[in-house]
Amino acid sequence: MKRRLIRHSAEIVILVALHFTLLHWLAERDVVSVVFSAGQHTPRWMLLSAGAFLLVRLLVLLFLPGMILNRIVLMIVENRSKQ
């Protein structure tokens, strides 16, 4: 139980830290602004970076709260069934 809690917490911290790092790193280099204005001259690495950033952002802002609650509920249910 304790080990799983630590693992889940680490996953959450890593996701949030990744989002924070990408946000600052990509902002510094003005990379993600191509994502809504991409054309044939947009370098592929820029598009990939921008797409990856948006994916991480959606994961953190949209799905992370649900993932956390889901894991808490599953741990509680599992704990109860063991008792």
Binding footprint of another protein on the chain (CB under 8 A): 23-24, 26-27, 30, 32-42, 46, 50, 53-54, 57-58, 61-63, 65-70, 72-74, 77-78, 81
Min CB(35)–another protein separation in Å: 5
Min CB(16)–another protein separation in Å: 13
Nearer Cβ to another protein, position 6 or 73?
A: 73
Min CB(68)–another protein separation in Å: 8
| Spatial contact of 2 and 72, defined as CB atoms under 8 Å apart | no
Give the pair of three-digit tokens for residue 55: 């994916």
| Spatial contact of 22 and 52, defined as CB atoms under 8 Å apart | yes
Nearer Cβ to another protein, position 13 or 61?
A: 61
44-21-73 Cα angle (round to 5): 110
